[in-house]
Amino acid sequence: MATATAVQAQKRKTTIHASDRVARVVVLIFAATVLMIAVILVFELWNGSAGSRHKMGWSFLTSSNWNPVTEQFGALPFIYGTIVTSILALLISVPLSLGAAIFLSELAPAGISNPLTFLVELLAAIPSVIYGLLAIFTLVPLVRSYIGPFLKATLGFLPFFQGPSYGVGYLTAGMILAIMIFPFIISVSRESLLAVPREQREAALALGATKWESTWQVVVPYAKLGITGSVFLALARALGETMAVTMVIGNDPAIHTSLLAPGAAIAAVIANEFSEATGPVYPAALVELGLVLFCLTIVMNGMARLMIIATTRKGSKRA
């Protein structure tokens, strides 16, 4: 046994030319660059936030007092804003996107479904600053004059829809984010739905289910994991989205219950204040915000990937 492997190893050694070994080392160096970037990224975020971590400790995450002048840095309003806008975006986007994904996978023939999916995926190619530009000049006036007053008139008894409607704020940011995450939910959900075996549909229909019942009670539950994965993927995008949110959230570092009020988000405050941050602690506090955002998106992305891998392996693609 031992001699057999030794002979094999000997054979392999002679067949690998010296040039191949050089080629291998060369590409390995480039591949290592990818690893290096990640290591440096984590190191710099940790190292760069040291000043703030030492000064603020855990109160950085729990205090809502953000005052660069007195060097008090509490990140809670930003974490709150990021989470609220992202959840709002999901609330608006998930039903619409899931409906569209069902239509594109179950109802539309491939000749219609593929071009429409292509168009939806183009939404992902639009730079986020363009979304911000459109949001400033269309969504903000719309929310200020129509949507805000309407929500106050109908749902004003809830604490979420009270106070003046400025136009900029959590709601506007959530709405633009909702549009931005359409393509992520739709294309991944559609793929998960397409991966559901045809027999599942046929069995449901043969039992007398209507098309909708077969879709909603059999196909969608079967693809549940992939759909959830797509939602987490979209959530990760929404959490880290910078430009569009910065342009419409209002940048008020405070916590408001009303969704119509201006707020702030992690990425937005970094974008706004980083280039002007001076002193020993201020830039470090912004880097620490970056670290918090990094952790949030890594967790969401990791979960999304696991779920998507699990579903696309489970089923076979529909022809």
Partner 1 sequence: MLRLRWRKLVNSIMLGLTGVCTLITVSALFLILGYLIYNGGKSLDWNFFTKLPVPAGETGGGMANAIVGTIQIVGIAALIGLPIGFMAGIYLSEFEDRMLAPLVRYTADLLNGVPSIIVGILAWTLVVVPMRHFSAIAGSIALSIMLIPIVTRQTEQFLREVPMSLREAALALGATKWKMIATVVVPAGSKGILTGMILGVARIAGETAPLLFTALNNQYWGGLNQPTSTMPYMVYFRAISPFDDWHRQAWAAGLVLIAIVLIANILARLVLARGISLPRT
d(CA 315, CA 197) in angstroms, rounded, equals 6
Tokens of 16: 């690998």
102 vs 152, beta carbon nearer partner 1: 102
Pick from 75, 90, 139, 247: which binds partner 1 (CB under 8 A)? 247
CB closer to partner 1, 245 vs 259? 245
Number of residues in the chain: 319
Q: Supply the minimum distance, in Å, between the C-beta of residue 127 and partner 1.
A: 3
* Pick 171 or 180: Cβ nearer partner 1: 180
- Give the integer Cα–Cα distance in Å for 280 and 53: 12
Smallest gap, in angstroms, from Cβ of residue 309 to partner 1? 11
Q: Is 9 in the site for partner 1 (CB under 8 A)?
A: no
142 binds partner 1 (CB under 8 A): no
Least spacing, CB of residue 114 vs partner 1, in Å: 11
Token pair belonging to 297: 């998106």
Alpha helix (H) residue ranges in 49-155: 50-56, 59-62, 76-102, 110-122, 128-134, 140-142, 148-155
Q: Does 61 bind partner 1 (CB under 8 A)?
A: no
Q: How far is the CB of 106 from partner 1 (least distance, A)?
A: 8
Within a 10 A sphere around the Cβ of 208, how many other Cβ atoms? 8
Choose the binding region for partner 1 from 61-69, 143-151, 197-205, 207-215 (rule: CB under 8 A). Answer: 207-215
Residue 253: Cβ-neighbour burial (10 angstroms; 0-12, 13-18, 19+): buried
Rounded Cα distance between 95 and 265, Å, is 24
> Are 242 and 129 a contacting pair, CB within 8 Å?
no
Among 145, 210, 217, 257, interactor with partner 1 by CB under 8 A = 210
Residue 280 is classified by DSSP as S
Residue ranges of E strands in 161-245: none
250 phi and psi, to 5 degrees?
100, -20
Distances 121 to 117, 178, 304 between C-alpha atoms, Å: 6, 14, 18
CB nearer partner 1, residue 82 or residue 258: 82
Does residue 146 touch partner 1 according to CB under 8 A? Answer: no
- Give the residue with the Cβ less far from partner 1, 158 or 206: 206
* Type of residue at 236: A
**Residues 170, 238 contacting (CB under 8 angstroms):** no
> Which of residues 198, 211, 224, 318 is near partner 1 by CB under 8 A?
211
Size of the site for partner 1 (CB under 8 A): 87
Q: Determine the interface stretch with partner 1 among 68-76, 141-149, 158-166, 284-292 (rule: CB under 8 A).
A: 284-292
275 touching partner 1, by CB under 8 A: yes
Residues 73-102 that bind partner 1 (CB under 8 A): 95-100, 102
Candidate segments 6-14, 146-154, 158-166, 236-244, binder of partner 1 by CB under 8 A: 236-244
116 makes contact with partner 1 (CB under 8 A): yes
Q: Which structure tokens are listed for 7? A: 């002979």
Residues between 154 and 173 with contacts to partner 1, criterion CB under 8 A:
none
Q: How far is the CB of 131 from partner 1 (least distance, A)?
A: 8
Angle at 145 between CA 143 and CA 150, to 5 degrees: 75
In terms of C-beta density within 10 A (0-12 exposed, 13-18 middle, 19 or more buried), how is residue 155 classed?
exposed
Binding mask 23-52 for partner 1 (x = CB under 8 A): xx-xxx-xxxxxx-xx-xx--xx--x----
